[in-house]
Amino acid sequence: MDWVVYILECADKSLYTGITNDLESRIAAHESGKGAKYTKGRGPFTLMYREGCDTRSAASKREVRIKRLSREEKLKLCVSS
């Protein structure tokens, strides 16, 4: 099972970072207001970044590292992909 770390840009220009093993379904859940508490009411969303990981553990660790970045660093990461 492949896991993905992703960054969404919300309609209010804030960034949301998460992990999933089914990116299409997860984005649809965010769009419907059922994805995460933070994203509820913040759509529509733009997928800014995705990074594949072999395991859930690896994806979770990468998610934590990305969440520690500043907004500017996250945007640079998105541009570099």
Residue ranges of alpha helices (H) inside 23-81 are 23-31, 56-67, 71-80
Maximum distance among all Cα pairs of the chain, rounded to whole angstroms: 33
Tell me the torsion sign for CA atoms 2, 55, 24, 80: negative
Tens of pLDDT, residue by residue over 58-72, are 999 999 999 999 999
The predicted model gives 8-13 an average pLDDT of 96
Whether residue 7 contacts residue 19, with contact meaning beta carbons closer than 8 Å, is answered with no
pLDDT digits (tens, 9 = 90+) for 21-59: 999 999 999 999 998 999 999 999 999 999 999 999 999
pLDDT exceeds 80 at position 1 = no
Taking the C-alpha atoms of residue 28 and residue 69, their distance in angstroms, rounded to an integer, is: 26
Domains present along the chain, CATH in parentheses: 3-80 (3.40.1440.10)
- The pTM (predicted TM-score) of the whole model is 0.94
